[in-house]
Structure 1
């Protein structure tokens, strides 16, 4: 770097390039030159929106209809996601991780004890817990009647499917009750009194219903009958 001095002889002054660059950087690093610079958060947001803009520009170039077509695709995708979220609810699993999707998450209790617990929750307006306990009462009652084999880890859906084979008249009701149980237990849904009353009425109806032997069981019984 060459500077011309202000002396009478105007003798050029040579300054090495690297020291001159360092001096310029030191000068520009002074706070007075950066008072109006965006802060770290603003710079991050600006970089993010620049990236979004480049992404949209790239996507619109390969999407039929350009930007309008891309916006339409995004709207459709968001609508599908919203519909699935509304139908399935917010994922909500038990933090303990010990029970998984199992219907019973505590020690063994009788069907009568589950019904008493359901009645207490219903009296307190705790409809989620009331639905859970009434569904457990249905399954425990079927186990006590030897219509279901007691099996640890059985889910509400599995119990409903198995019980529906011996009680086809209540198969739909059992599936609906199992779905209500899953909704309030794992789906983040909130039950109300009509939902509980439906499970309660199903419990009473199942308790009064005699089971129907499956065709396979009837065939086996006739085949193995003594001659």
Structure 2
């Protein structure tokens, strides 16, 4: 009887301090069986991103006149401005136009550049056609000594320098230089109208008498 009574006595509770208990619970909950249905790391990251974006949107809409609708209108206006600038300026260039030289191969005469331009135009390859025609314009001005031959000259520099002895065509020269830079270094597609406009400028310059006082060496036509 005494043995039975001793056996049936209640077991005293196990007294575990707080820190070991927390570590034991943490160890138990780290077992894979408790995390089989947890979202993936990617999913948790996406959820966090959307929560952050939602909070940012709420904060911005609260500070914008008109609330969320006003914020949407502002975003659309900004996107429209970016699209307009992209269309006008073309793809951003890796090299600034001011650092891009006009001639990049062996020296050729204006006649050779014109012949190359006409061959490209016959194939409707407008980008190289425009490039070669612009080079013909500048080389022709150098051959007439209206420009000093200078390696490394850019289209913008050539247009600015040629505009002094040929002031009647200064605006057209600047437009031609801008077209050349946009097409060559800005990613803009050339077209037939650009080529024809540059060809007409080339012909007009050949027939124009310069201001002799503004020419580098006072050269005549």
TM-score, normalization: structure 1?
0.81
Higher-Rg member (1/2): 2
Return the alpha-carbon distance in structure 2 between the equivalents of residues 116 and 64 of structure 1.
61
Inter-partner Cα distance in structure 1 for 2:71 and 2:189 = 37
Alignment of 1:58 with 2:63, yes or no, is no
TM-score, scaled to structure 2: 0.83
Q: Deviations over 1:92-120 (max 9, x none)?
A: 336xx9x9322122232221222222223
Number of residue-to-residue matches in the alignment: 208
Q: What is the match of residue 3 of structure 1? A: none
Gap runs ≥5 in structure 2: 1-7
In 1, the alpha carbon distance for the partners of 2:151 and 2:123 equals: 30
Q: State the shift of 1:10 in Å.
A: 4.1
Which stretch of structure 1 is more off in the superposition, 172-181 or 17-26?
A: 17-26
Partner of 1:224: none
**1:37 counterpart residue number:** 38
Using the TM superposition, name which of 46-55 and 128-137 deviates more: 46-55
The superposition leaves residues 39-98 of structure 1 with CA deviations (integer Å, 9 ceiling, x where unpaired) of 22222222222221222222223222222222222222111111111111111336xx9x
**Mapping for residues 18-167 of structure 1, pairs under 5 Å:** 18-93=19-94, 100-167=99-166
Q: Distance in 1 between matches of 2:150 and 2:109?
A: 15
For structure 1, list consecutive stretches of 5 or more residues without a partner in the other structure. Answer: 1-6, 222-227
1:196 matched residue in structure 2 = 195
Shift of 1:186: 1.6
Ranked by relative contact order (alpha carbons within 8 Å, sequence separation 6 or more), the top structure is 2
